[in-house]
Chains A and B, each alone.
Chain A
Amino acid sequence: MEQRSTRIALATWSALVVLFLWIPLALIMIYAFNKSNVQSWPIAGFTTHWFHVAWSSTDVRSALWLSVRVALVATATAILLGSAAAFAVARFAFFGREAVSFLLVLPIALPGIVTGMALNSFFIAGHITVSMWTIVIGHATFCVVIVYNNVLARLRRSSASLLEASQDLGADGLQTFRFVVWPVLSTALVAGGLLAFALSFDEVVVTFFTAGAQNTLPLLIFGYIRLGQQLPVVNAIAFAMILLTVIPVVLAQRLMRDTGVLRRGATAAVVTK
């Protein structure tokens, strides 16, 4: 075990880093109640007016709805394609397996501006009119890799012999999936899906290059920031989102803990491959 002084130093450092992460979020929440629409410190006065404005704005609602739809479709696509690819890579040795891994990681490893630019030239060259679906395509490219990574990590930790055992005992593919694969996989899918959803929901750079006349929530927020008249509305939206997202984040954390991802030492016992 580490020395006491080391432990205290590490604990202090961790506390400072968490504070560094959270002070700005706390300030966002304070600014949401700013009476003036021009931001300065300390805030000009206290009002809940902006929450009302945000709630009743049709622009905010339609942007939110578009973002939710895009994120849902992109996540669903990512779960289908990402887990299929992860299965293939985890279970089969084939020529070019490394290349597949490399290829799938590209959209998240390459700078957003490259992905956005590339899709933009692709749509222009193919005379594809930008729409909700082009945003979905843009988001799905980097969501696939999130699900792929999560599922692959989980599959590598579970044993392939479990599948063999299941089939030896006479189960068909569907039964094996239902009783052996799914219990191992479901939490990885939920965790990967949540992260994919979050990334899609908050994406700006790729969306800018793949969206047409319609606004996703981040694009709307960017518009508000540049206009500068309704900045507290933006803060009010952020406030609501922080509160709302506590639920999925805690959920994701629980899932990962329950399945051993977060339990120290547990993984060593699970790793068989």
Chain B
Amino acid sequence: MIRIRRVHVLVAALAVALCVPAAGVSSGKGLPTAIGKGEGQLNLIAWEGYTQPQWVKPFEKATGCQVHAKYAGSSDEMVTLMRQGGGSQYDMVSASGDASLRLIYGKDVQPMNPNLIPGYKDFIPALQSPPHNTINGVHYGISLQWGPNTLLYNTQKVKPAPTSWASIYSPKFKGKVTVPDNPIQIADAALYLSKAKPSLAITDPYELNQTQFNAAIALLKQQKPLIKKYWALASDEIDLFKNGDAVIGASWPYQTNTLIAAKVPVKDLIPKEGATGWADTWMLSAHAKHPNCAYMWTAWVSTPKVQAEQAIYFGETPANIKACPIMNKLAPGSAAQYHCGASASYFNSIKFWKTPIAACGNGKSNCMDYTQWQQAWTQLKG
């Protein structure tokens, strides 16, 4: 158990780094003040559906930057890919909140100048300098899109319609439940417990002490016999619902959109306990070989039109408010459906993914760190 103890020390050290602003992070000096000539190429790590030909092709045509995208299935995978081969393989990554801080403190990404991104000034205020990509006023990347993880169910098989996350933990749908194969799923269990078992006093599903963490794991263990499959790929869940292997599960809106387009009777909702969610940022590798193309790409995906196209394709909410009317033009009603230009209170009701670290928000440092989350998840799946 020597190994674990060293992990504790390290994470504690990192926690100190997090509390002392800008320690270990380079300050915003030396930012480019103009975008230079394109390098002809751009290598991206992206979520599935973030680099669709619909907006990549016009970009390539306009800038001459040939886009090569690699899809990653989880934040962990993104971090790993960014570090592969000394970090010079990829120029940018569409990191979610639980990857962005790890990338910043791992010195894998470099600061970016938001003044070079015309769409930036139209972002909702909450995403201009969010804590997951801006440290002490230094912007490590430009926000992109955000959205909640939803509860997806088959409207013909699940009656009455569910209102609570309790339904994915209830034996009523034994063998017909699916949840993501991702350690961050522990936070979903914690979020449910924060309402279902107030005695545990969970305030933040990413900051769990040993007791709270054990309760979440116990809940997931009890859920395991109900699970048909832990889905690893978006298409897994689509197939499961389409072919009747699953009738209820945790999902992204992307799957809902695809299933509805295929005329499967499904619906998704944010249950009464609230939801976890993601807020994504395009981040620039510290060793990027094509920084000019990277800036051009970031500027391109921040324009209202591309923001709207991506929002509708994936089923998420654009950072740029000006995208809302375009969304409605492309798909009537979609702006309201995805809370485009949402109020601060709606935005704040979503518990965005972040990396669990030993330092709890309350000043104590007895929380379970992400390594422990990963180990617990692997052992849970067995």
Q: Are the CB atoms of B73 and A226 closer together than 8 Å?
A: yes
Which residues of chain B in 251-287 are interfacial with respect to chain A, using CB atoms and an 8 Å cutoff?
A: 258-259, 261-262, 264
Given A38-B242, A39-B242, A130-B84: A227 in contact with B262 (beta carbons within 8 A): no
In chain B between 230 and 247, which residues have their CB closer than 8 angstroms to a CB of chain A? 232-235, 238-239, 242-243
* A173 within 8 A of partner (CB): no
Q: Does B55 contact A (CB under 8 A)?
A: no
Could you tell me which residues of chain A, from 39 to 54, have a CB within 8 Å of some CB in chain B? 39-40, 44
Interface size range on B against A: 20 to 34
Query: A213's contact among B86, B90, B243, B258, by CB below 8 Å, is which?
Result: B90
Name the distance in Å between B61's Cβ and chain A's nearest Cβ: 13
Whether a CB of chain A sits under 8 angstroms from the CB of B85 is yes
The answer to whether the Cβ of B88 comes within 8 Å of any Cβ in the partner chain is yes
Q: Please, what's the 1-or-0 string for A205-229, where 1 marks a CB less than 8 Å from any CB in chain B?
A: 0000000111100000001011111
Residue from B86, B235, B242, B258 within 8 A of A127 (CB atoms): B86
Chain A residue at minimum C-beta to C-beta distance from B70: A213
Cα A37 to Cα B235 with chains together (Å): 11
A215 CA / B69 CA spacing, docked (Å): 9
Known: A37-B262, A226-B71, A228-B258. A212 touches B84 (CB 8 A): yes
Q: Which residues of A lie under 8 Å from residue B88 when comparing CB positions?
A: 129
B43 on the interface (CB 8 Å rule)?
yes
**A101 at interface by CB-CB < 8 Å:** no
> Which residues does chain B contribute within 8 Å of A226, judged by CB atoms?
48, 71, 73, 232-235
Chain B proximity of A11: nearest CB distance (Å): 36
B49 interfacial contact with A, CB 8 Å: yes
Q: Is the CB of A36 within 8 A of B262?
A: yes
B85:A129 contact, CB within 8 angstroms = yes
CB distance from A211 to the nearest CB of B (A): 9
Query: Does B71 lie within 8 Å of A38, measured CB to CB?
Result: no
Question: Any chain B CB within 8 A of the CB of A231?
Answer: yes
Residue numbers in A under 8 Å from B90 (CB-CB) = 213
Q: Which residues of A contact B86 (CB under 8 A)?
A: 127, 129
- With A37-B262, A130-B89, A212-B84 given, is the CB distance from A227 to B242 under 8 Å? no
**Residue interface bits B26-64, CB-to-A below 8 A is 1, else 0:** 000000000000000001000011000000000000000
Query: Which residues from chain B contact A44 at a C-beta distance below 8 Å?
Result: 262
Chain A minimum-CB-distance residue to B73: A226
Q: A38-B258, A130-B85 are in contact. Are A227 and B70 (CB under 8 A)?
A: no
A225 to B48, CA, bound (A): 11
A229's contact among B49, B68, B89, B239, by CB below 8 Å, is which?
B49
Contact present for B259 and A38 (CB under 8 Å): yes
0 or 1 for each of A5-39: is its CB under 8 Å from B? (1 = yes): 00000000000000000000000000000001111
Please list the residues of chain A having a beta carbon within 8 angstroms of any beta carbon in chain B. 36-40, 44, 123-124, 127, 129-130, 212-215, 223, 225-229, 231
Q: A40-B243, A213-B43 are in contact. List 12 more A-B contacts (CB 8 A).
A: A38-B239, A38-B261, A129-B88, A212-B85, A214-B68, A226-B232, A226-B233, A227-B49, A227-B234, A228-B238, A229-B49, A231-B235
Q: Which residues of B contact A (CB under 8 A)?
A: 43, 48-49, 68, 70-71, 73, 84-86, 88-90, 232-235, 238-239, 242-243, 258-259, 261-262, 264
Closest 4 CB pairs of A and B: A228-B235, A38-B262, A226-B233, A213-B43
